[in-house]
Amino acid sequence: MGLSMGWQTKIEAYFKAWLRPLFLKLDKTDHPMHAPLPFLMTRLAAWLGVGLVLAVVFWLLAPVLAPFVIAAVLAYVLHPLVLKLEGLAGPRLPRAMAVVLVEAVALLALLGLFLLLVPILVREWPLLQQQLPVLLDRLGEVINPFLALLGLNITLDFAELRNHLVTYLSANRGDWWAPLMSSLKLGGSVALAFAGYAVLVPVALFYMLYDWARLVNSVLVLVPPSWRERFDSFMHDCDLVLGEYLRGQLLVMLALAVFYTVGLWLFGLDLALPIGVFTGLAVFVPYLGFGLGLVLALLAGLLQFASAQALVMVAVVYGLGQLLESFVLTPRLVGERIGLHPLAVILSLMAFGQVFGFVGVLMALPASAVLLVGLRRVRDQYLQSDLYQKSGSGAAEQGPDQA
């Protein structure tokens, strides 16, 4: 912890010596909307320059900063729980112990989500060994006539593929860990990176939770005193909006877990409970959670029913679930809580996904919520500015003359 404190002190001193004087120099007026235009342009250029430098630094160090960003997001979510636990236990519970308890519960909850996959794998692997050859025979009976109907002179030898699979599955009967370990060997670099994240994120999360107040204060000292009140008010509004986002997202996850579980159960799927709960809780990660749940449900349905009925069944449940999430639950339970119109929710998901990819989809709604807070404040400042007030009064004065 001493090393962490030392580096943090050096960083604070650097910002105080270089950036804070820049902000203080720029802060020549009590209200930015009453400043002369050249000064506003100078301030805007300075802010854009600082933002550009920070963006380049973050882009260059993205692989290194990723686990720390993940830890910071988790620390923001879990810090209120640490405060509540400290308040309930009082001085008898050291802060370090409160942080350890909260972090342990969070990690156990995350581990429990992945443990839902264990009964699915244990049950489906023997069924896969038994049913896959039969499914391949039926697939050949459907695909080859369809290719002939299209005039394609192609014949797929599913019998040969089935024989190879039967030989392989017979040699690995009951050993479903072997393919998994083989995959881990092939993706060794990915596994190593995942292991590094698994170690680094909890360690960084502990220090951030333990020193949360100090970290926040180290940012606050960079804010010029005349801006402090507006900055605190802005951060308070952002905190409220992000809290509403998290609560709304939790309701969406619970609602979808119930929907997928009940939908798959009504169609008679034996593994409806673990697959439905896993899909519902995993939708917090857009597309990835839904896609993994869909694959598991398709596999379970095919192995249990061994017919095209399973594909139709799963397609109906997951298609309705995706429509329910995209057009009803997320816009209503999340969008309305953070003040975004349902159309704005859909637009933000599409726009952030197009620009930033998967990470953009993940961060679309919280980023849009913070952006909305900023736009509201810009609008309020504009309505109070001399530019708006004078133009409004000028129009009012010209009205009677023209009449």
285 part of a folded domain = yes
Domains contained in the chain, number: 3
Q: Please name the residue that has the structure tokens 């049913």.
A: 131
Contact status, residue 140 vs residue 159, Cβ threshold 8 Å: yes
> What is the mean predicted confidence (pLDDT) over 358-386?
78
- For residues 33 and 122, state if they share a domain: no
Query: What's the pLDDT tens digit per position in 117-135?
Result: 777 777 766 766 666 666 6
H or E element that contains 114: helix 95-115
Do 127 and 211 share a structural domain?
yes
42-51, 82-91, 110-119, 260-269: which range is least confident on average? 42-51
Q: Which of 222, 243, 269 is the last residue of a domain?
A: 222
Name which of 110, 61, 139, 369 is nearest 244 in CA terms. Answer: 369
92, 83 contact by CB (below 8 A)? no
Same domain, 78 and 187: yes
- 244 and 301 co-located in one domain: yes
pLDDT digits (tens, 9 = 90+) for 149-201: 766 666 655 566 656 665 655 555 555 445 555 544 444 455 566 667 778 88
Instruction: Read off the tokens for 172.
Output: 């690995």
Q: What is the DSSP string of 239-302?
A: HHHHHHHHHHHHHHHHHHHHHHHHHHHHTT-TTHHHHHHHHHHHTTSTTHHHHHHHHHHHHHHH
Give the angle subtended at the CA of 33 by the CAs of 27 and 35, to the nearest 5°.
55
Structural domain range at position 299: 226-385
Tokens 């995993």 sit at which residue?
282
C-alpha torsion angle, residues 140, 134, 275, 256 (rounded to 10): 40
Q: How many whole angstroms separate alpha carbon 314 and alpha carbon 267?
A: 9
Considering the domain architecture, whether residues 263 and 211 belong to the same structural domain is answered as no
Query: In Å, what is the CA distance from 142 to each residue of 139, 157, 299, 307?
Result: 5, 13, 19, 12
- Cβ proximity of 364 and 349 under 8 Å: yes
Phi, psi torsion values for 15, nearest 5 degrees = -65, -40
Same domain for 33 and 75, yes or no, is no
Reported pTM: 0.64
Q: What is the DSSP letter of 348?
A: H
- The owner of tokens 């060794």 is 188
Same domain for 187 and 287, yes or no, is no
Burial of 54: CB neighbours in 10 Å, binned 0-12, 13-18, 19+: exposed
Please tell me which of 36-40, 81-85, 136-140 the model is most confident about, judged by mean pLDDT: 81-85
Q: Greatest CA separation found in the chain?
A: 96
The two tokens of residue 8 are 């943090």
Helix (H) or strand (E) holding 74: helix 62-89
pLDDT band at 345 (very low <50, low <70, confident <90, very high): confident
Could you tell me if 174 and 240 lie in one domain? no
288 touches 358 (CB < 8 A): yes
CA distances from 298 to 269, 316, 321, 325 (A): 10, 11, 15, 20
Residues 41, 29 share a domain: yes
CA distance 9 to 218: 9
